[in-house]
Structure 1
Amino acid sequence: MDAAVFIFSMKLLFKLLLIASMAAAVACDNKRLPYMGEPEKVVKTVDGQEVEELDYPAIPPFAFTNQDNRPVTEADFKGKIYVADFFFTTCPTICPVMKKNMLKVYDEVKDNPDVRILSHTIDPEHDTPAVLKTYSNDLGVSNATWQFVTGDREKIYEIGQQHYLITAAEDAKSPGGFLHSGHFVLLDKDRHIRGMYDGTTDEGTYELIRDIRTLLKEYAQ
Protein backbone atom coordinates (compact mmCIF):
# COMPACT_ATOMS: atom_id res chain seq x y z
CA MET A 1 0.00 0.00 0.00
CA ASP A 2 1.24 3.50 -0.91
CA ALA A 3 2.41 5.43 2.17
CA ALA A 4 0.15 8.40 1.43
CA VAL A 5 -2.84 6.09 1.02
CA PHE A 6 -1.96 4.34 4.29
CA ILE A 7 -1.73 7.64 6.17
CA PHE A 8 -5.05 8.79 4.68
CA SER A 9 -6.68 5.49 5.65
CA MET A 10 -5.40 5.75 9.23
CA LYS A 11 -6.64 9.32 9.52
CA LEU A 12 -10.04 8.26 8.21
CA LEU A 13 -10.14 5.32 10.65
CA PHE A 14 -9.22 7.66 13.52
CA LYS A 15 -12.02 10.06 12.56
CA LEU A 16 -14.54 7.22 12.36
CA LEU A 17 -13.47 5.92 15.78
CA LEU A 18 -13.71 9.43 17.21
CA ILE A 19 -17.22 9.87 15.82
CA ALA A 20 -18.26 6.48 17.18
CA SER A 21 -16.88 7.27 20.64
CA MET A 22 -18.65 10.65 20.66
CA ALA A 23 -21.92 9.00 19.64
CA ALA A 24 -21.52 6.42 22.42
CA ALA A 25 -20.86 9.21 24.93
CA VAL A 26 -23.99 11.06 23.81
CA ALA A 27 -26.05 7.87 24.06
CA CYS A 28 -24.70 7.30 27.56
CA ASP A 29 -25.49 10.88 28.58
CA ASN A 30 -29.04 10.48 27.25
CA LYS A 31 -29.60 7.15 29.00
CA ARG A 32 -32.89 6.95 30.87
CA LEU A 33 -33.52 4.43 33.60
CA PRO A 34 -36.51 2.11 33.20
CA TYR A 35 -39.62 2.23 35.36
CA MET A 36 -40.41 -0.86 37.45
CA GLY A 37 -43.77 -2.29 38.40
CA GLU A 38 -46.92 -3.07 36.45
CA PRO A 39 -48.23 0.10 34.75
CA GLU A 40 -51.85 1.01 34.14
CA LYS A 41 -53.10 2.62 30.96
CA VAL A 42 -54.69 6.00 31.61
CA VAL A 43 -56.33 8.47 29.24
CA LYS A 44 -55.26 12.10 29.53
CA THR A 45 -56.25 15.21 27.61
CA VAL A 46 -53.29 16.99 26.04
CA ASP A 47 -53.89 20.10 23.90
CA GLY A 48 -57.53 19.14 23.55
CA GLN A 49 -56.70 15.62 22.41
CA GLU A 50 -57.16 12.43 24.39
CA VAL A 51 -53.95 10.43 24.60
CA GLU A 52 -53.25 7.09 26.26
CA GLU A 53 -50.28 6.91 28.61
CA LEU A 54 -48.74 4.36 30.93
CA ASP A 55 -49.04 5.26 34.60
CA TYR A 56 -46.42 3.45 36.68
CA PRO A 57 -47.04 2.66 40.36
CA ALA A 58 -45.60 5.03 42.96
CA ILE A 59 -44.83 4.61 46.64
CA PRO A 60 -47.97 5.78 48.51
CA PRO A 61 -47.98 8.36 51.32
CA PHE A 62 -46.29 7.13 54.50
CA ALA A 63 -45.61 8.25 58.05
CA PHE A 64 -42.76 6.90 60.18
CA THR A 65 -40.48 8.13 62.96
CA ASN A 66 -36.76 8.69 62.48
CA GLN A 67 -33.66 8.32 64.64
CA ASP A 68 -34.17 11.82 66.01
CA ASN A 69 -37.71 10.87 67.14
CA ARG A 70 -39.18 13.15 64.48
CA PRO A 71 -41.94 12.29 61.98
CA VAL A 72 -40.88 11.42 58.46
CA THR A 73 -43.41 11.43 55.63
CA GLU A 74 -43.40 11.40 51.85
CA ALA A 75 -43.47 15.22 52.01
CA ASP A 76 -39.86 15.14 53.25
CA PHE A 77 -38.88 13.51 49.97
CA LYS A 78 -40.73 15.88 47.67
CA GLY A 79 -38.51 16.97 44.80
CA LYS A 80 -35.80 14.45 45.73
CA ILE A 81 -34.64 11.08 44.49
CA TYR A 82 -33.92 8.55 47.20
CA VAL A 83 -32.67 5.06 47.96
CA ALA A 84 -34.72 2.78 50.22
CA ASP A 85 -33.83 -0.44 52.01
CA PHE A 86 -35.06 -2.64 54.87
CA PHE A 87 -32.98 -3.97 57.78
CA PHE A 88 -32.88 -4.46 61.56
CA THR A 89 -30.13 -3.45 63.93
CA THR A 90 -29.57 -6.91 65.44
CA CYS A 91 -29.43 -8.65 62.06
CA PRO A 92 -26.65 -11.28 62.18
CA THR A 93 -26.39 -11.94 58.45
CA ILE A 94 -26.68 -9.54 55.51
CA CYS A 95 -27.44 -6.22 57.24
CA PRO A 96 -23.85 -5.41 58.28
CA VAL A 97 -22.72 -5.93 54.68
CA MET A 98 -25.64 -3.87 53.36
CA LYS A 99 -24.87 -1.00 55.69
CA LYS A 100 -21.17 -1.08 54.79
CA ASN A 101 -22.22 -0.79 51.14
CA MET A 102 -24.85 1.87 51.84
CA LEU A 103 -22.10 3.93 53.46
CA LYS A 104 -20.47 4.07 50.01
CA VAL A 105 -23.73 5.44 48.63
CA TYR A 106 -23.97 7.89 51.54
CA ASP A 107 -20.44 9.15 50.90
CA GLU A 108 -21.45 9.74 47.26
CA VAL A 109 -24.66 11.70 48.00
CA LYS A 110 -24.35 13.18 51.51
CA ASP A 111 -23.63 16.67 50.21
CA ASN A 112 -26.27 16.59 47.46
CA PRO A 113 -29.55 18.22 48.58
CA ASP A 114 -31.47 16.38 45.83
CA VAL A 115 -30.74 12.87 47.16
CA ARG A 116 -31.82 11.02 50.31
CA ILE A 117 -31.52 7.53 51.82
CA LEU A 118 -34.40 5.91 53.74
CA SER A 119 -33.73 2.77 55.80
CA HIS A 120 -36.75 1.04 57.37
CA THR A 121 -36.33 -1.26 60.36
CA ILE A 122 -38.41 -4.44 60.22
CA ASP A 123 -38.05 -4.91 63.99
CA PRO A 124 -39.77 -1.78 65.33
CA GLU A 125 -40.33 -3.23 68.81
CA HIS A 126 -36.59 -3.35 69.41
CA ASP A 127 -35.43 -0.62 67.02
CA THR A 128 -36.78 2.44 68.80
CA PRO A 129 -35.67 5.94 67.72
CA ALA A 130 -33.01 5.85 70.46
CA VAL A 131 -31.63 2.54 69.17
CA LEU A 132 -31.65 3.85 65.59
CA LYS A 133 -29.85 7.00 66.74
CA THR A 134 -27.05 4.97 68.29
CA TYR A 135 -26.91 2.80 65.19
CA SER A 136 -26.68 5.78 62.84
CA ASN A 137 -24.03 7.43 65.01
CA ASP A 138 -21.97 4.26 65.00
CA LEU A 139 -22.11 4.28 61.20
CA GLY A 140 -20.89 7.87 61.13
CA VAL A 141 -24.04 9.41 59.67
CA SER A 142 -23.72 13.11 60.32
CA ASN A 143 -26.61 14.80 58.52
CA ALA A 144 -30.26 14.37 57.47
CA THR A 145 -29.40 12.77 54.13
CA TRP A 146 -29.76 9.28 55.62
CA GLN A 147 -32.95 8.68 57.60
CA PHE A 148 -33.48 5.54 59.71
CA VAL A 149 -37.16 5.01 60.45
CA THR A 150 -39.35 2.89 62.67
CA GLY A 151 -43.12 2.69 63.06
CA ASP A 152 -46.07 0.34 62.94
CA ARG A 153 -44.83 -3.14 62.06
CA GLU A 154 -47.67 -4.00 59.68
CA LYS A 155 -47.37 -0.70 57.83
CA ILE A 156 -43.64 -1.27 57.36
CA TYR A 157 -44.21 -4.78 56.05
CA GLU A 158 -47.04 -3.62 53.80
CA ILE A 159 -45.12 -0.80 52.16
CA GLY A 160 -42.09 -3.05 51.74
CA GLN A 161 -43.81 -6.04 50.19
CA GLN A 162 -46.59 -4.36 48.23
CA HIS A 163 -44.89 -1.17 47.06
CA TYR A 164 -41.12 -1.39 47.30
CA LEU A 165 -41.39 -4.95 45.95
CA ILE A 166 -39.04 -6.45 48.54
CA THR A 167 -39.34 -9.15 51.19
CA ALA A 168 -39.96 -8.00 54.76
CA ALA A 169 -41.50 -10.34 57.31
CA GLU A 170 -41.16 -11.92 60.74
CA ASP A 171 -39.84 -15.46 60.40
CA ALA A 172 -38.80 -17.55 63.38
CA LYS A 173 -36.76 -19.87 61.13
CA SER A 174 -34.57 -17.05 59.78
CA PRO A 175 -31.43 -15.85 61.58
CA GLY A 176 -32.42 -13.08 63.97
CA GLY A 177 -36.12 -13.90 63.60
CA PHE A 178 -36.79 -11.83 60.49
CA LEU A 179 -36.73 -12.39 56.75
CA HIS A 180 -35.85 -9.58 54.34
CA SER A 181 -34.21 -9.10 50.98
CA GLY A 182 -30.89 -7.38 50.52
CA HIS A 183 -32.03 -5.00 47.81
CA PHE A 184 -31.45 -1.28 47.55
CA VAL A 185 -34.35 0.42 45.74
CA LEU A 186 -33.87 3.62 43.72
CA LEU A 187 -36.84 6.03 43.59
CA ASP A 188 -37.29 9.10 41.41
CA LYS A 189 -38.82 12.42 42.46
CA ASP A 190 -42.32 11.05 41.87
CA ARG A 191 -41.59 7.98 44.04
CA HIS A 192 -41.49 5.63 41.04
CA ILE A 193 -39.10 2.68 41.32
CA ARG A 194 -36.32 3.17 38.76
CA GLY A 195 -33.95 0.39 39.81
CA MET A 196 -33.26 -2.45 42.24
CA TYR A 197 -29.76 -3.51 43.26
CA ASP A 198 -28.09 -6.24 45.28
CA GLY A 199 -26.99 -4.36 48.37
CA THR A 200 -24.83 -7.26 49.53
CA THR A 201 -22.34 -6.90 46.66
CA ASP A 202 -19.89 -4.25 45.48
CA GLU A 203 -21.19 -4.71 41.94
CA GLY A 204 -24.76 -3.90 42.92
CA THR A 205 -23.67 -0.95 45.03
CA TYR A 206 -21.57 0.67 42.32
CA GLU A 207 -24.32 0.07 39.77
CA LEU A 208 -26.67 1.96 42.09
CA ILE A 209 -24.22 4.84 42.40
CA ARG A 210 -23.92 5.03 38.61
CA ASP A 211 -27.69 5.02 38.23
CA ILE A 212 -28.11 7.77 40.83
CA ARG A 213 -25.82 9.91 38.68
CA THR A 214 -27.81 8.94 35.58
CA LEU A 215 -31.12 9.84 37.22
CA LEU A 216 -29.75 13.21 38.35
CA LYS A 217 -28.64 13.90 34.78
CA GLU A 218 -32.12 12.95 33.57
CA TYR A 219 -33.62 15.70 35.73
CA ALA A 220 -30.93 18.17 34.71
CA GLN A 221 -31.75 17.85 30.98
Structure 2
Amino acid sequence: MIRPGAYLMLLSLFLFSCKDKPKGLPFLQLETTEKIVDGKTVIDSAFRTIPAFKLLNQDSAVVTEKNFDGTIYVADFFFTSCPTICPVMHRNLLKVYQKYKGNPEVKLASHTIDVKYDTPSTMKAYATKLGVEGTQWEYLWGSRDEIYALAERNYLVAAQEDKNAPGGFVHQGYLVLVDKEKRIRGAYDGTQDKEVAQLMSDMDVLLKEYKK
Protein backbone atom coordinates (compact mmCIF):
# COMPACT_ATOMS: atom_id res chain seq x y z
CA MET A 1 0.00 0.00 0.00
CA ILE A 2 1.44 3.38 -1.06
CA ARG A 3 0.60 6.22 1.30
CA PRO A 4 0.68 9.63 -0.42
CA GLY A 5 1.27 11.54 2.81
CA ALA A 6 4.55 9.80 3.46
CA TYR A 7 5.59 10.35 -0.14
CA LEU A 8 4.92 14.08 0.14
CA MET A 9 7.01 14.17 3.32
CA LEU A 10 9.88 12.52 1.48
CA LEU A 11 9.47 14.86 -1.46
CA SER A 12 9.63 17.93 0.76
CA LEU A 13 12.78 16.59 2.37
CA PHE A 14 14.36 15.99 -1.01
CA LEU A 15 13.48 19.49 -2.17
CA PHE A 16 15.01 20.93 1.00
CA SER A 17 18.19 19.03 0.28
CA CYS A 18 18.16 20.08 -3.37
CA LYS A 19 18.20 23.69 -2.28
CA ASP A 20 21.42 23.06 -0.37
CA LYS A 21 22.93 20.71 -2.96
CA PRO A 22 22.05 22.01 -6.44
CA LYS A 23 24.30 19.54 -8.30
CA GLY A 24 23.84 15.79 -8.55
CA LEU A 25 21.25 13.78 -6.68
CA PRO A 26 19.68 15.18 -3.51
CA PHE A 27 20.24 13.76 -0.04
CA LEU A 28 17.42 12.77 2.28
CA GLN A 29 17.64 15.17 5.20
CA LEU A 30 17.39 13.82 8.73
CA GLU A 31 15.61 15.83 11.37
CA THR A 32 17.32 18.94 12.70
CA THR A 33 18.57 19.14 16.27
CA GLU A 34 19.11 22.12 18.53
CA LYS A 35 22.12 22.65 20.77
CA ILE A 36 23.55 25.52 22.78
CA VAL A 37 26.90 26.91 21.62
CA ASP A 38 28.38 29.91 23.46
CA GLY A 39 24.99 30.61 24.97
CA LYS A 40 23.24 30.63 21.60
CA THR A 41 20.86 28.09 20.11
CA VAL A 42 22.36 26.46 17.04
CA ILE A 43 20.43 24.18 14.71
CA ASP A 44 22.34 21.19 13.36
CA SER A 45 21.22 18.82 10.63
CA ALA A 46 22.61 15.51 9.48
CA PHE A 47 21.98 13.27 6.52
CA ARG A 48 20.20 10.01 7.23
CA THR A 49 22.44 6.96 7.06
CA ILE A 50 21.64 3.27 7.32
CA PRO A 51 22.90 1.85 10.65
CA ALA A 52 24.66 -1.42 11.39
CA PHE A 53 22.53 -4.54 10.99
CA LYS A 54 22.92 -8.32 10.99
CA LEU A 55 20.51 -10.41 8.91
CA LEU A 56 20.43 -13.68 6.97
CA ASN A 57 20.16 -13.91 3.20
CA GLN A 58 18.50 -16.48 0.95
CA ASP A 59 21.53 -18.77 1.35
CA SER A 60 21.27 -18.57 5.17
CA ALA A 61 24.54 -16.61 5.19
CA VAL A 62 25.02 -13.71 7.59
CA VAL A 63 24.75 -10.32 5.89
CA THR A 64 25.69 -7.04 7.57
CA GLU A 65 25.96 -3.46 6.42
CA LYS A 66 29.58 -4.24 5.52
CA ASN A 67 28.39 -6.46 2.67
CA PHE A 68 27.26 -3.25 1.01
CA ASP A 69 30.51 -1.33 1.50
CA GLY A 70 31.72 0.19 -1.76
CA THR A 71 28.35 -0.19 -3.46
CA ILE A 72 25.26 1.79 -4.19
CA TYR A 73 22.17 -0.30 -3.56
CA VAL A 74 18.40 -0.36 -3.85
CA ALA A 75 16.39 -1.51 -0.82
CA ASP A 76 12.76 -2.54 -0.57
CA PHE A 77 10.38 -4.37 1.78
CA PHE A 78 8.13 -7.19 0.61
CA PHE A 79 6.84 -10.69 1.41
CA THR A 80 6.87 -13.68 -0.90
CA SER A 81 3.15 -14.46 -0.60
CA CYS A 82 2.11 -10.86 -1.26
CA PRO A 83 -0.85 -10.86 -3.68
CA THR A 84 -0.89 -7.14 -4.45
CA ILE A 85 2.07 -4.80 -5.08
CA CYS A 86 5.07 -7.10 -4.49
CA PRO A 87 4.86 -9.03 -7.77
CA VAL A 88 4.77 -5.74 -9.68
CA MET A 89 7.59 -4.27 -7.59
CA HIS A 90 9.85 -7.24 -8.16
CA ARG A 91 9.11 -7.51 -11.87
CA ASN A 92 10.25 -3.91 -12.08
CA LEU A 93 13.19 -4.46 -9.75
CA LEU A 94 14.22 -7.37 -11.97
CA LYS A 95 14.84 -4.78 -14.71
CA VAL A 96 17.29 -3.06 -12.38
CA TYR A 97 18.97 -6.38 -11.56
CA GLN A 98 19.31 -7.28 -15.24
CA LYS A 99 20.74 -3.89 -16.18
CA TYR A 100 23.42 -3.92 -13.48
CA LYS A 101 24.01 -7.67 -13.23
CA GLY A 102 27.70 -8.31 -12.64
CA ASN A 103 28.45 -4.69 -11.71
CA PRO A 104 30.41 -4.88 -8.43
CA GLU A 105 29.31 -1.35 -7.51
CA VAL A 106 25.60 -2.18 -7.47
CA LYS A 107 23.52 -4.39 -5.15
CA LEU A 108 19.86 -4.93 -4.31
CA ALA A 109 18.42 -5.67 -0.87
CA SER A 110 14.88 -7.00 -0.43
CA HIS A 111 13.77 -7.37 3.19
CA THR A 112 10.90 -9.70 4.05
CA ILE A 113 8.29 -8.36 6.45
CA ASP A 114 6.75 -11.83 6.89
CA VAL A 115 9.48 -13.25 9.09
CA LYS A 116 7.40 -16.26 10.17
CA TYR A 117 6.76 -17.66 6.70
CA ASP A 118 9.61 -16.27 4.62
CA THR A 119 12.52 -18.38 5.80
CA PRO A 120 15.81 -18.10 3.89
CA SER A 121 14.95 -21.28 1.96
CA THR A 122 11.54 -19.86 1.02
CA MET A 123 13.19 -16.71 -0.27
CA LYS A 124 15.79 -18.78 -2.14
CA ALA A 125 13.01 -20.54 -4.02
CA TYR A 126 11.36 -17.18 -4.69
CA ALA A 127 14.61 -15.70 -6.03
CA THR A 128 15.29 -18.73 -8.21
CA LYS A 129 11.80 -18.55 -9.71
CA LEU A 130 12.42 -14.89 -10.51
CA GLY A 131 15.69 -15.76 -12.24
CA VAL A 132 18.03 -14.27 -9.64
CA GLU A 133 21.47 -15.85 -9.30
CA GLY A 134 24.16 -15.29 -6.69
CA THR A 135 23.97 -12.62 -4.01
CA GLN A 136 24.09 -9.37 -5.95
CA TRP A 137 20.39 -9.28 -5.08
CA GLU A 138 20.19 -10.13 -1.39
CA TYR A 139 16.89 -11.38 0.06
CA LEU A 140 17.13 -10.55 3.75
CA TRP A 141 15.51 -12.11 6.82
CA GLY A 142 15.77 -11.08 10.45
CA SER A 143 13.78 -10.66 13.63
CA ARG A 144 10.51 -8.81 13.33
CA ASP A 145 11.75 -5.98 15.52
CA GLU A 146 14.92 -5.43 13.51
CA ILE A 147 13.25 -5.60 10.10
CA TYR A 148 10.43 -3.25 11.04
CA ALA A 149 12.79 -0.80 12.74
CA LEU A 150 14.99 -0.69 9.65
CA ALA A 151 11.94 -0.13 7.47
CA GLU A 152 10.31 2.67 9.40
CA ARG A 153 13.17 4.40 11.21
CA ASN A 154 15.93 4.16 8.64
CA TYR A 155 14.53 3.55 5.16
CA LEU A 156 11.32 5.49 5.98
CA VAL A 157 9.10 2.75 4.56
CA ALA A 158 5.89 1.97 6.44
CA ALA A 159 5.14 -1.72 7.05
CA GLN A 160 2.79 -3.47 9.45
CA GLU A 161 0.75 -6.61 9.98
CA ASP A 162 -2.94 -6.24 9.20
CA LYS A 163 -5.18 -9.30 9.27
CA ASN A 164 -7.74 -7.47 7.13
CA ALA A 165 -5.26 -6.68 4.35
CA PRO A 166 -4.64 -9.02 1.40
CA GLY A 167 -1.90 -11.39 2.52
CA GLY A 168 -2.05 -10.12 6.10
CA PHE A 169 0.33 -7.16 5.70
CA VAL A 170 0.31 -3.59 4.43
CA HIS A 171 3.48 -1.86 3.30
CA GLN A 172 4.74 0.81 0.97
CA GLY A 173 6.26 -0.13 -2.35
CA TYR A 174 9.18 2.26 -2.36
CA LEU A 175 12.52 1.35 -3.88
CA VAL A 176 15.07 3.27 -1.82
CA LEU A 177 18.38 4.29 -3.39
CA VAL A 178 21.35 4.28 -1.00
CA ASP A 179 24.83 5.57 -1.85
CA LYS A 180 28.26 4.21 -0.91
CA GLU A 181 28.24 6.22 2.31
CA LYS A 182 24.89 4.59 3.18
CA ARG A 183 22.96 7.83 2.74
CA ILE A 184 19.52 7.76 1.17
CA ARG A 185 19.52 9.51 -2.21
CA GLY A 186 16.05 8.73 -3.56
CA ALA A 187 12.75 6.88 -3.09
CA TYR A 188 10.73 5.59 -6.04
CA ASP A 189 7.34 3.92 -6.41
CA GLY A 190 8.28 0.40 -7.44
CA THR A 191 4.87 -0.21 -9.00
CA GLN A 192 5.29 2.55 -11.59
CA ASP A 193 7.37 1.98 -14.73
CA LYS A 194 8.29 5.66 -15.04
CA GLU A 195 9.53 5.78 -11.45
CA VAL A 196 11.67 2.68 -11.96
CA ALA A 197 13.11 4.18 -15.14
CA GLN A 198 13.94 7.30 -13.14
CA LEU A 199 15.58 5.13 -10.48
CA MET A 200 17.90 3.57 -13.05
CA SER A 201 18.69 6.97 -14.53
CA ASP A 202 19.53 8.28 -11.06
CA MET A 203 21.67 5.22 -10.38
CA ASP A 204 23.70 6.05 -13.47
CA VAL A 205 24.11 9.62 -12.23
CA LEU A 206 25.22 8.39 -8.83
CA LEU A 207 27.73 5.95 -10.29
CA LYS A 208 29.20 8.76 -12.38
CA GLU A 209 29.58 10.89 -9.25
CA TYR A 210 31.97 8.29 -7.85
CA LYS A 211 34.09 8.30 -10.99
CA LYS A 212 34.89 12.02 -10.74
Q: Is TM > 0.5 for Structure 1 vs Structure 2? A: yes
2:149 maps to 158
Structure 1 unaligned residues grouped into runs of 5+:
1-29, 43-51
Query: Deviation at 1:86?
Result: 0.3
Contact 1:58-1:191 within 8 A present in 2 as well = yes
Q: Look up the SS of the partner of 1:55 in the other structure.
A: coil
Q: Look up the SS of the partner of 1:111 in the other structure.
A: coil
Structure 2 unaligned residues grouped into runs of 5+:
1-21, 35-42
Question: Under a length normalisation based on structure 2, what TM-score does the superposition of the two structures give?
Answer: 0.83
Instruction: Give, in whole Å, the separation in 1 of the partners of 2:151 and 2:29.
Output: 13
1:214 aligns with 2:205: yes
Write the mapping of 1:104-119 to structure 2, written as runs, cut at 5 A. 104-119=95-110
1:64 maps to 55
2:25 maps to 33
Instruction: Give, in whole Å, the separation in 2 of the partners of 1:34 and 1:40.
Output: 17
Query: Deviation at 1:72?
Result: 0.5
Contact 1:110-1:143 within 8 A present in 2 as well = no
2:190 maps to 199
Instruction: Give, in whole Å, the separation in 2 of the partners of 1:124 and 1:194.
Output: 27
1:148 to 139, 150, 159: 139
Q: Look up the SS of the partner of 2:50 in the other structure.
A: coil
RMSD of aligned residue pairs (Cα, Å): 1.8
Question: Under a length normalisation based on structure 1, what TM-score does the superposition of the two structures give?
Answer: 0.79
Instruction: Give, in whole Å, the separation in 2 of the partners of 1:182 and 1:89.
Output: 14
1:45 maps to none
2:17 maps to none
1:176 aligns with 2:136: no
1:186 maps to 177
2:90 maps to 99
Match of 2:72, as an amino acid?
A: I
Moved >4 Å (runs of 4+):
39-42
Q: Which has the larger radius of gyration?
A: 1
Instruction: Give, in whole Å, the separation in 2 of the partners of 1:65 and 1:145.
Output: 14
| Percent of aligned pairs sharing the same letter | 48
1:18 maps to none
Q: Look up the SS of the partner of 1:204 in the other structure.
A: helix
Contact 1:124-1:150 within 8 A present in 2 as well = yes
